[in-house]
Amino acid sequence: MLSILDLRARIEAGTLTPSGAIDLCRAAIAAREPELRTLVTLDDNPTIPESGPLAGIAVGVKDIIDSAGLPTQMGSALYAGWRPRGDASVVARLKGLGAVALAKTTTTAFASSDPTETVNPHDPGHTPGGSSAGSAAAVGAGLLPLALGTQTAGSVIRPASYCGCAAVKPSFRLIPTVGVKTYSWALDTVGLFAAGVADVAHALALVTGRPEIERAEAGSAPRIGLVRQDFAEAPEPEAEAALARARQAAERSGAQVTDVTLPPELALAWERHRIIQNYEGRLALAWEYESHRDALPPRVREHLDAGAAIAAAEYDDARRHAHRARRVLKGLFAEYDAILTFSAPGPAPATLASTGDPRFNQLWTLMGVPCVNVPVPGERLPVGVQVIGRFGDDGRALAVARMIEDALRG
Amino acid sequence: MLSILDLRARIEAGTLTPSGAIDLCRAAIAAREPELRTLVTLDDNPTIPESGPLAGIAVGVKDIIDSAGLPTQMGSALYAGWRPRGDASVVARLKGLGAVALAKTTTTAFASSDPTETVNPHDPGHTPGGSSAGSAAAVGAGLLPLALGTQTAGSVIRPASYCGCAAVKPSFRLIPTVGVKTYSWALDTVGLFAAGVADVAHALALVTGRPEIERAEAGSAPRIGLVRQDFAEAPEPEAEAALARARQAAERSGAQVTDVTLPPELALAWERHRIIQNYEGRLALAWEYESHRDALPPRVREHLDAGAAIAAAEYDDARRHAHRARRVLKGLFAEYDAILTFSAPGPAPATLASTGDPRFNQLWTLMGVPCVNVPVPGERLPVGVQVIGRFGDDGRALAVARMIEDALRG
């Protein structure tokens, strides 16, 4: 994989130019993109800034995120060739830092769950996950050092786990979603994919203008709550093994790891994630659903049909459950510095007909708390674990994730 | 003014067709639009549904709200001729109800505070207010029975007060902002303008699919807290007089009106509204600001410059103040069914160089609570009063507002 920190160190040292760093991506894309199909469009002649803290860093932009220079097509024929006037907030910010929006990456239609053409870089018979399929696969395959995704249920953390890269789904709205096609305004969160946890922390600190995110430390004996999410169907053995290895790695580093059963309010919120997602999706995609329902692929259509059947009172009730659960979770974070849990039910499923299951992600998206995928090395197909922090304390979550990543490598 | 309920009653009775109702608007527009300049674009050949609960209702759509059939130009040359692919959520919903998106209405650039060309329908030397200038003036002048606006500080309630129509700024996110150009994601709220409070209640109930909004009742002796917002500079005598008349009208109807001084947490939040607005505006308009700063008109540029100087920590602190104030306000609503306060500092200022002052609106936008403008008849230039309800209880706020409106007329 291409590490942001490594590329930037070489550029700072004068052994690599920003253009040279972009050429590394072009070469990797030329070699593997025909097989992997991670990109929708590639900018053949981008402006490459010579300076800026992210000069030389090529970014893949999920194709539901507006970009002024390249079409934004939502993974849907309804938006074929569509060009927004300007960049999404996060894209403008990245360009302002010197990064190059080199490519648009594949997305399931409207970031729902109809598979893309992208394959898993570790085995082309396996899904890369979704909805941020192209971003996860392009970073996991070493085509790009940085990519943008979005998560409404598990669309950042799950594909990162499947594709073997690091990723952060930050605290809700830490990165603005302005210029991002909305599915659920209460859930949609912009996230970042990069080679390692230190890379995503560096990028997040720069994108948000919050250097403390990168400077945060895990402390000498962080208190980690190990959460199995028993309300969800049990995971596969590979996910269990990855979690056990991550726990041991954390303990080797001095962490106090305690098994925690989440209070019932959290299970009740977990059950209701889909109500909020589908109800809001039906409203957010009102034009697409009402004017072009037949042009929608089957899964997003099915989700929106489900959304149309949800009464406002049921949605309001789900929002109240989520609100209560956030308060309970806040209390839990008085006792723990981070939560450690599964990133996905197992390695990427051996199919291209599904993007996998977000059941270990959806609660945390609904809670709005920062989530980090830490790749666990060693298996043929990647499996990650998820480190979760208190709302607004993205730096701590990333620091604990870095500690575990270091211990797993060591 | 053209009343939604009146037009619909005539259509239901068979004495007016939907096309005939649209023709009434066209005739009014032909007569007064050259003087008032409320519209940016007018659809000369719209599809006019024959059925639906809002068939025959022409809607003015503020020109920061996406519409598939007409350009959406944000009040800015940067978006000259720009056409989104689809309708904003609220526009698709209105069309689905049978309404006709007949025109785009003027907006200050990016819904900030650089004046439009629109004049006040009651005196062309006075501002119609902003940022939803065209929507308020078109409804106040009787050109359209319904119009959409947005409020980030006071951009719905204030222009409604200046132009003499009813308006509702609903609870935060009750109407989705999907497809609306974002200025501040924590504040931007879609609102409705119509002739009377019963008209806006009817439209809001239909748009949200929540019939209980229209069915809510004020009760026989609602408890009303009269709030002067002493933390803001004092209002003009006309606003004082309107508030006094509204209080008397409420008391005649059986309401128990009590003077309330807001707890200090609310004044602290009020002071910090602008921090949130400008910080988020700078991020939301990142592309416009970073790539086209010189093309921005002076006031929005000044606000974004101010936003660029705000540290993340100051913004976070402002958000915490807002959070605390929301909790305090929730407690206050245990004692009162509604709050009655000023809609604006006075009648529309005698200038076209300013859109007026949102100082009596910004707190309530930040609190996310429903606000209704009730026109107070009798003066040469209109002045309104503002009825405010508990978060999520838009029906009650509208019912109390209707009660006061009825008593003022009676």
> Per-residue pLDDT tens for B223-282?
999 999 999 999 999 999 999 999 999 999 999 999 999 999 999 999 999 999 999 999
Smallest CA–CA distance from A74 into chain B, residue = B85
**Quick one: average pLDDT of A367-396?**
95
H/E segment holding residue B341:
strand B338-342
H/E segment holding residue B214:
helix B212-215
Cβ–Cβ below 8 Å for B284 and A93: no
Q: Give the C-alpha separation, B340 to B374, whole Å.
A: 10
Q: Residue B169 in contact with residue B200, Cβ under 8 Å? A: no
Residue for token pair 């062309």: B124
Torsions phi, psi of B386, nearest 5?
Answer: -115, 125
Q: Give the C-alpha separation, A179 to B182, whole Å.
A: 9
> Residue B144: which of B125, B170, B121, B124 has the closest Cα?
B121
Q: Cβ–Cβ contacts within 10 Å for residue A238, how many?
A: 18
Peptide bond into A220 cis (omega under 30): no
Q: Examine the pLDDT at A174 and tell me if it is beyond 80.
A: yes
Within a domain: A98: yes
Nearest beta carbon to residue B185 from set A173, A280, A286: A173
Cβ–Cβ below 8 Å for A92 and B290: yes
pLDDT at B71: 97
Q: Residue A162 in contact with residue A136, Cβ under 8 Å? A: yes
Q: Residue A348 in contact with residue A356, Cβ under 8 Å? A: yes
A315's CB contacts (< 8 A; 6+ apart) are: A275, A276, A279, A280
Within a domain: A105: yes
Which class for B83: exposed (0-12), middle (13-18), buried (19 or more C-beta within 10 A)? middle
Cβ–Cβ below 8 Å for A284 and B178: yes
Q: Give the C-alpha separation, A94 to A46, whole Å.
A: 14
> Per-residue pLDDT tens for A37-81?
999 999 999 999 999 999 999 999 999 999 998 999 999 999 999
**Number of domains making up chain B:** 1
pLDDT band at A33 (very low <50, low <70, confident <90, very high): very high
Rg (CA), chain A: 20
A93's CB contacts (< 8 A; 6+ apart) are: A207, B283, B286
Cβ–Cβ below 8 Å for B291 and A178: no
Q: How far is B312 from chain A (nearest CA, A)?
A: 7
B51's CB contacts (< 8 A; 6+ apart) are: B98
Q: Give the C-alpha separation, A365 to A44, whole Å.
A: 35
The amino acid occupying position A43 is D
DSSP string across A42-104: E-SS----S-STTTT-EEEEETTB--SSS---TTSGGGTT---SS--HHHHHHHHTT-EEEEE
Q: Domain limits at A168?
A: 4-215
Q: Give the C-alpha separation, B18 to B154, whole Å.
A: 33
The SS3 of residue B42 is strand
Q: For the domain that residue A30 is a member of, what is the CATH number?
A: 3.90.1300.10
Q: Give the C-alpha separation, B21 to B100, whole Å.
A: 11
Q: Give the C-alpha separation, A83 to A71, whole Å.
A: 5
Cβ–Cβ below 8 Å for B176 and A284: yes
Q: Give the C-alpha separation, A236 to A343, whole Å.
A: 12
Within a domain: B65: yes
Q: Residue B322 in contact with residue B362, Cβ under 8 Å? A: no
- Buried-state track A82-117, b at ≥16 Cβ within 10 A, e below 16: eebbbbbbbbbbbbbbbbbbbbbbbbbbbbbbbbbe
Within a domain: B263: no
pLDDT, averaged across chain B: 97
pLDDT band at B174 (very low <50, low <70, confident <90, very high): very high
pLDDT at A239: 97
Cβ–Cβ contact B92 with A under 8 A: yes
Which residues on B lie below 8 Å from A209 (Cβ)? Answer: 312
Which class for B51: exposed (0-12), middle (13-18), buried (19 or more C-beta within 10 A)? exposed
As a whole-number percent, the residues of chain B with pLDDT over 90 amount to 98
Cβ–Cβ contact B49 with A under 8 A: no
Within a domain: A116: yes
Q: Give the C-alpha separation, B391 to B372, whole Å.
A: 13
Q: Give the C-alpha separation, B339 to B397, whole Å.
A: 9
Torsions phi, psi of B281, nearest 5?
Answer: -60, -40
Q: How far is B91 from chain A (nearest CA, A)?
A: 8
pLDDT band at B410 (very low <50, low <70, confident <90, very high): confident
Interface-testing mutation among B78, B85, B276, B327, with chain A (most A C-beta atoms within 10 A): B85
Torsion of CA A277, A283, A286, A290, to 10 degrees: 90
**Quick one: average pLDDT of B351-376?**
98
pLDDT at B379: 75
pLDDT at B377: 85
pLDDT at A46: 96
Residue for token pair 């700063």: B293
**Quick one: average pLDDT of A290-310?**
98
Within a domain: B117: yes
Q: Give the C-alpha separation, B263 to B282, whole Å.
A: 31
Cβ–Cβ below 8 Å for A178 and B85: no
Cβ–Cβ below 8 Å for A290 and B92: yes
Within a domain: B285: no
Count of positions (residues) in chain B:
410
pLDDT at A388: 98
> Per-residue pLDDT tens for A78-92?
999 999 999 999 999
Q: Residue B363 in contact with residue B276, Cβ under 8 Å? A: no
Q: Give the C-alpha separation, B57 to B93, whole Å.
A: 13
Torsions phi, psi of B237, nearest 5?
Answer: -55, -35
Token duo for residue A244: 């056990």
B288's CB contacts (< 8 A; 6+ apart) are: A86, B76, B78, B110, B296
Name the β-bridge partners of A384. A375
Name the β-bridge partners of B193. B147, B167
Cβ–Cβ contact A82 with B under 8 A: yes
Cβ–Cβ below 8 Å for A68 and B291: yes
Q: What letter would DSSP give residue B338?
A: E
Q: Give the C-alpha separation, A105 to A67, whole Å.
A: 12
Q: What letter would DSSP give residue B212?
A: H
pLDDT at A50: 98
The SS3 of residue A150 is strand
Q: Give the C-alpha separation, A215 to A224, whole Å.
A: 20
The SS3 of residue A168 is strand
Rg (CA), chain B: 20
Within a domain: A363: no
Which residues on A lie below 8 Å from B78 (Cβ)? Answer: 85-86
Peptide bond into A291 cis (omega under 30): no
> Per-residue pLDDT tens for B41-70?
999 999 999 999 999 999 999 999 999 989
Q: Examine the pLDDT at A378 and tell me if it is beyond 80.
A: no
The SS3 of residue A386 is strand
Cβ–Cβ contact B72 with A under 8 A: no
**Quick one: average pLDDT of A99-120?**
98
Which class for A306: exposed (0-12), middle (13-18), buried (19 or more C-beta within 10 A)? middle
Q: Give the C-alpha separation, B222 to B401, whole Å.
A: 11
Residue for token pair 């204030």: B158
Name the β-bridge partners of B180. B65
> Per-residue pLDDT tens for B135-171?
999 999 999 999 999 999 999 999 999 999 999 999 9
First to last CA, chain A: 18
Interface-testing mutation among A70, A90, A171, A178, with chain B (most B C-beta atoms within 10 A): A178
> Residue B395: which of B225, B249, B210, B250 has the closest Cα?
B210
Token duo for residue A243: 């979690």
pLDDT band at B396 (very low <50, low <70, confident <90, very high): very high
Which residues on B lie below 8 Å from A392 (Cβ)? Answer: 316
How do B39-42 and B100-105 pair as beta strands? antiparallel
Which residues on B lie below 8 Å from A210 (Cβ)? Answer: 312
Q: Examine the pLDDT at B294 and tell me if it is beyond 90.
A: yes
DSSP string across B271-324: HHHHHHHHHHHHHHTHHHHHHHGGGS-HHHHHHHHHHHT--HHHHHHHHHHHHH
pLDDT at A410: 79
Token duo for residue A306: 């489900």
Q: Examine the pLDDT at B378 and tell me if it is beyond 90.
A: no
Cβ–Cβ below 8 Å for B209 and A312: yes
Which residues on B lie below 8 Å from A390 (Cβ)? Answer: none
Which residues on B lie below 8 Å from A284 (Cβ)? Answer: 89, 176, 178
Q: Give the C-alpha separation, A80 to A264, whole Å.
A: 45
- Buried-state track B345-368, b at ≥16 Cβ within 10 A, e below 16: bbbbbeebebbbbbbbbbbbbbbb
Q: Residue B61 in contact with residue B83, Cβ under 8 Å? A: no
